Amino acid sequence: MNWFFIALWAPFLLACANHNDKFLLSRYLKEKTIGSIVIFSSLFSGVAIPILLFIQPDVYEVSLVQGSALVVTGMLSVFSAVCYLHALDIDEASFVTPFYQTVPIFAYCLGYFILGETITLAQGCGSLVIIVGAIALSLEFGRRGIRFKKHVVALMLAASFLSAINGVIFKLIAVDRGFWVALFWGFAGQVIAGLALLICVPRYRRDFIGLFKQQKVAALGLIAVSRTLFSVSEAVTLYATLQAPVALVLVVNSFQPLFVLVLGILLTTFLPGVSKESLGRMKMLQKGVGMGLMLVGGYLISR
């Protein structure tokens, strides 16, 4: 299967997780307890560890440097999520999400210097078109105009940079040691990061313990669903980086707004109690232009 279609599963799964998170926050966690989400999601990654051990028993056959680096990538993915959730707590998703389109830019720079990767002119143009399309889908037109929020920008640039480092380091080691081995140590790093936040950040610890005291079983189930979707999405993305330049694989994640839109329309039509999408004429025109650009860009980078 072409690497592009493999990588395309990642933004679809992320879009499913986005709608699940939106339902979770609006229905069960209206106070937006970020700590409970981050810690439970990180610790839930431990469920995948015995599964990976069954698939690849020789996961311990890595050097100390390689194992440590992979653990760090897992921890970076958690800290990236922390930055994203705090940015989302400050401003609406329509302003926050577009900054993830800077991940391929960071990945290209890191991939060029660390992995020696290059892309063709057509692939570069396709990447640019996808980024423009994703931004077009994410713009919000109104009387307030375009706002610049330095705190949100700083948080999302940090999240994007950490995600790019994660992808590049993973590929650097996975090419040598194998996909499953690298994935195992990455998940181990996520669990370690979750434990560190639980022990060292009192506010997060209170949020996490409070979630269990309130016996929000449904909330825990929805968080587990999101964590599973994010984990599978991350695994798909990291696997695709072994088939193509990291920057190109991460650009494919720009299809996430497209999938979010399509799923939103379907949910609005058939399950309005779960999600509601704006279907006004101007909104649909904006979304149509964005989708068209992303499809053209996808064609260019898959050539």
**For residue 144, how many other CB atoms are within 10 A of its CB?**
7
Two structure tokens written together for 75: 């921890």
Is 196 exposed, middle or buried (CB count within 10 Å of its CB: 0-12, 13-18, 19+)? middle
Amino acid at 75: M
Mean pLDDT for 234-249 is 82
pLDDT at 77: 92
Q: Is 275 left (phi over 0), alpha (psi -120 to 50) or beta?
A: beta
**23-40: b (≥16 Cβ within 10 Å) or e:** bbbeebbeeebbbbbbbb
Q: Among 65-69, 152-156, 174-178, 274-278, where is mean pLDDT lowest?
A: 274-278
Give dist(CA 184, CA 190) in Å, integer.
Answer: 10
What pLDDT score does 35 carry? 82
Mean pLDDT value of segment 233-246: 84
Tell me: the pLDDT tens digits for 169-213?
888 898 888 888 999 999 999 999 999 999 999 988 888 888 777
What is the spatial distance between Cα 76 and Cα 290, in angstroms, rounded to a whole number? 30
Looking at residues 207-236, what average pLDDT do you find? 81
Show me where the domains of the chain are located.
1-29+121-143+220-302, 31-91+149-214
